[in-house]
Chains A and B, each alone.
Chain A
Amino acid sequence: MHIIENGNAAAALGVKLCRASVIAAYPITPQTPLTEKLSEYVESGEMKAEYIPVESEHSALAVCIAASSAGARTFTATSANGLLYMHEQVQWASGARLPMVMCVVNRAVGAPWNVWNDQQDSISQRDTGWIQIYCADHQQIIDTVIKAYWLAEQVSIPVMVCYDGYILSHTFMPFDLPDQEQVDSFLPPFQPDYFLNPQDPANLNTVTLPDVRMDVRGELAHGYMEIRCLLQEDLRKALQTAAEAEKRFAGIFNRGADPYIEPYRCDDAEHVAVGLGSITYQMRVCVDQLRTEGIKIGVMGVRYYRPFPDEAIAAALKGKKGVIVVEKALSYGYEGALMSDLKSALYEHLAGTGSLPVVQNFIAGIGGREIRTDDLTQTLRAAAKGRVSKEPVWIGLRL
């Protein structure tokens, strides 16, 4: 059934369809309409779940961590400083291998205060051991939430579903609302291997030593390093599981694509613009314009940022003359985080092949600065002609 709704509602509908049983949230703009919607579903009885109106984001994730440890399918959502306030818990959730899903409605972080969109919040959580997926439209938001639960529960790793504040969260767009029966067939009830249970007691997340240690049966139990290494290994393997999720989803819902990247007019392109989230769809307009001028350019959205699909990205960019990475965040003191990761993937897979593209970095839309399509087109036009700068270039800056 096609409906017209905003991006936050798309996420809320996805969570309802996935039958999350414990939801905890603390209000922060622009996430609020999403969690308000969920409180409506729960209070009206439309959704059978416990909704905990916590006193902070730190507690929101605490509730989800504990609920997930007790066997519940959980949900929370946040933005900007709310996510930063959660940071300790974000790390805890992945370390404890809890398959939860959290939406991050991307917003700039303070100081100074700013409620508008960029992606510094979720990018700053890159190294926390979560799976991180970026959405470019409302269909992707609802579909990604559904796929995220399946993926998280397969690999026991939490998933962050990220989408741009306002640009997606508060705009209305038509999208297909999946049937409950279809979602139920895609996503079976959550049955964890272990959960907090007085009949089968265990002490979870106890102090774990640097080295391996004998258990009471005389078997060696993991040390902290083994546990952490398994998280890394399983995160890398999750790329395969993500592909399975995409295939399963396509089999039931008749839609889907490459799970990792979303290329547009890239096949014959000499230059490829790369980004995360809604900006990649805006760049499609630029690419269409530049194509009429004879510039062979395409655009590629990166959907999975962690685990990083380095192979897929390098394969897609192999033989291109130039790659133009346009980001709404940066690793202060160097360059965009996606830029660094992408260059590292190209080096790993293409070094010595003679087909390493020139890579340039542009920073756009920080703190919600309007990204004018004309400016973006001009940026891509200039970058396709040759290297603009060694340092990241800020689009629309008026210093």
Chain B
Amino acid sequence: MQAKSTILSLPTEELVHPGTRACTGCGLSIAYRVGLKALGRDTILVVPPSCLTVLQGLFPVASTKLPCLNVTFASTAAAAAGILATLKAQGNEHTTVAGWAGDGGTSDIGLQALSGAAERGDNFIYFCYDNEGYMNTGVQRSGTTPIGAITANTPFKGKLQQKKDVPAIMAAHHLSYVAACSAAYPLDLYDKIKNCLALPGTKYFHIHIPCPPGWGYDPRYGIKIGRLAVETGYYDLYEIVNGEFKLTAASEKLIEKRKLVPVREYFRAQSRFRTLTEAQIGDIQKTIDEKWAGYYKKDE
């Protein structure tokens, strides 16, 4: 394990040009910028249609300084496998291949190809940036939209079903590395990428991405809301290295504190949860407390 990075120790070279087409306050801008710094110049990217397609710009202008293949919605992981196979055939063992897909492109339409690549053990890093909905098409529900969230196609009652636990699905593929990160904790993301680069097979990253237009908050509060998700114990930062689960960064610190911020604060900061009743929030709080009781127990 390397020493923890600080904002001053990050590489100064930017691989994403400033002035992208992302929305103001977009959490993805942070995660992508820092993520590419960790991946470095010798990387080939694969991107399906998503907010990132827009962030990257319109032909013939591109905001990313790395080679990038835009592919069909369902095929991110399979395309990564194709690039890897080519690099292998060319005798290139140094270039990193990384897929960056949204939560719809991962948990819904892209899950089959991702599962296939993970089962084959294709040696690449897959990033799911999870803004919890089809934000690029106008905020529709996805497999990872949380229960209670109002979206364009769950307009009155909010989503009735639980968020799909994609990192757990990926962990069930016996991967060498699975990580849950957040755009609000970019250094944790950076260090995790650095930690997994040398590991074999498919590496999976799930990144929680606050989204001002999709979640309904003032763009300046993105980091605050991303942190609230972690401080309330609602969304946890962790890594699973060769099957070994470990909370990291702010989530790890919560173990010592033994105190979570009430999840109500997270919900009340976003308009998408406006129809959640106190009773519903109470139920969710109970689930969170039970989850954390498990974490505390493991720690004892």
- Are A and B genuine complex partners? yes
Interface residues of A, Cβ cutoff 8 Å to B = 21-22, 24, 48-50, 52-56, 58-60, 62-72, 74, 88-89, 92, 196-198, 200-209, 213, 215-216, 221-222
Given contacts A49-B89, A203-B62, contact A24 B82 (CB under 8 A): yes
B20 at the interface (CB under 8 A from A): no
- Contact check: which of B44, B56, B57, B120 meets A53 at CB < 8 Å? B120
In the docked arrangement, what's the CA distance between A50 and B81, Å?
10
Residues of the B chain whose Cβ atoms lie less than 8 Å from the Cβ of A92: 71-72
Please state if A66 and B78 are interface contacts (CB–CB under 8 Å).
Answer: yes
Would you list the 10 A-B pairs with minimal beta carbon distance, nearest first? A55-B116, A66-B82, A59-B78, A62-B75, A62-B78, A63-B82, A203-B62, A66-B79, A221-B60, A50-B85
Given contacts A49-B89, A55-B113, contact A63 B70 (CB under 8 A): no
Residue of A nearest to B58 (CB): A207
Residues of the B chain whose Cβ atoms lie less than 8 Å from the Cβ of A65: 71, 75, 79, 82
B248 at the interface (CB under 8 A from A): no
In the docked arrangement, what's the CA distance between A66 and B84, Å?
9
Which of A24, A63, A67, A208 counts the most B-chain CB atoms under 10 A from its CB?
A63
Given contacts A71-B90, A216-B61, contact A66 B112 (CB under 8 A): no
Bits for B50-91, please: 1 = Cβ < 8 Å to A, else 0.
000110111111101111111110110111111101111110
B115 at the interface (CB under 8 A from A): yes
Bits for B124-141, please: 1 = Cβ < 8 Å to A, else 0.
000000000000000000
Residues of the B chain whose Cβ atoms lie less than 8 Å from the Cβ of A205: 69-71
Please state if A52 and B120 are interface contacts (CB–CB under 8 Å).
Answer: yes
Please state if A198 and B43 are interface contacts (CB–CB under 8 Å).
Answer: yes
Please state if B56 and A206 are interface contacts (CB–CB under 8 Å).
Answer: yes
In the docked arrangement, what's the CA distance between A66 and B89, Å?
13
Given contacts A22-B86, A66-B46, A206-B57, contact A58 B81 (CB under 8 A): no
Please state if B61 and A72 are interface contacts (CB–CB under 8 Å).
Answer: no
Please state if B85 and A52 are interface contacts (CB–CB under 8 Å).
Answer: yes
B95 at the interface (CB under 8 A from A): yes
Please state if A54 and B67 are interface contacts (CB–CB under 8 Å).
Answer: no
Bits for B111-123, please: 1 = Cβ < 8 Å to A, else 0.
0110110011000
Residues of the A chain whose Cβ atoms lie less than 8 Å from the Cβ of B82: 22, 24, 52, 62-70, 72, 74
Residue of A nearest to B76 (CB): A62
Please state if A207 and B53 are interface contacts (CB–CB under 8 Å).
Answer: yes
Please state if B69 and A207 are interface contacts (CB–CB under 8 Å).
Answer: no
B41 at the interface (CB under 8 A from A): yes
B42 at the interface (CB under 8 A from A): yes
Which of B42, B43, B56, B83 counts the most A-chain CB atoms under 10 A from its CB?
B83
